[in-house]
Amino acid sequence: YIFNGRWQFSSGTDHCDWIILGAMLGDDKGIPIMPPQMLHMILPRKDYEIVEDSWNVVGLRGTGSKDVIVSDAFVPSYRTMDATKVMDGTAQREAGMTEPLYLMPWSTMFPLGISAATIGIAEGALAAHLDYQRERVGATGTAIKDDPYVMFAIGEAAADINAARQELLANADRIYDMVAAGKEVSFADRAAGRRTQIRAVWRAVAAVDEIFARSGGNAARMDKPLQRYWRDVHVGQLHAIHMPGTTYHASALSSLGIEPPEGPLRALI
Q: How far apart are CA 109 and CA 198, in angstroms?
A: 13
DSSP 181-209: TT----HHHHHHHHHHHHHHHHHHHHHHH
Share of the chain above pLDDT 70, in %: 100
pTM here is 0.93
Q: How far apart are CA 60 and CA 31, in angstroms?
A: 35
* Cβ pair 50, 38 in contact under 8 A: no
Q: How far apart are CA 32 and CA 263, in angstroms?
A: 19
Q: How far apart are CA 238 and CA 258, in angstroms?
A: 29
- Please enumerate in sequence order all residues whose Cβ is within 8 A of that of 133, keeping only pairs 6 or more positions apart, or say none: 144, 145, 150, 154, 215
From residue 263, how far is each of 32, 245, 248 by CA, in Å? 19, 14, 15
pLDDT digits over 236-262, tens only? 999 999 999 999 999 999 999 999 998
pLDDT at 34: 87
The CATH fold assigned to 100-266 is: Butyryl-CoA Dehydrogenase, subunit A; domain 3 (1.20.140)
Surface-to-core class of residue 263, CB atoms within 10 Å of its CB (0-12 exposed, 13-18 middle, 19+ buried): exposed
Query: How is the chain split into domains, by residue range?
Result: 2-83, 100-266
Listed range (18-22, 26-30, 194-198) with the worst mean pLDDT: 26-30
pLDDT digits over 133-167, tens only? 999 998 889 899 999 999 999 999 999 999 999 99
Beta bridge partners of 68: 7, 50
Q: Residue 49 CB: number of other CB atoms within 10 A?
A: 13
- Please enumerate in sequence order all residues whose Cβ is within 8 A of that of 267, keeping only pairs 6 or more positions apart, or say none: 246
Q: Residue 126 CB: number of other CB atoms within 10 A?
A: 22
pLDDT digits over 65-124, tens only? 999 999 999 999 999 999 999 999 999 999 999 999 999 999 999 999 999 999 999 999
From residue 60, how far is each of 14, 117, 143, 230 by CA, in Å? 15, 11, 33, 10
The CATH fold assigned to 2-83 is: Butyryl-CoA Dehydrogenase, subunit A; domain 2 (2.40.110)
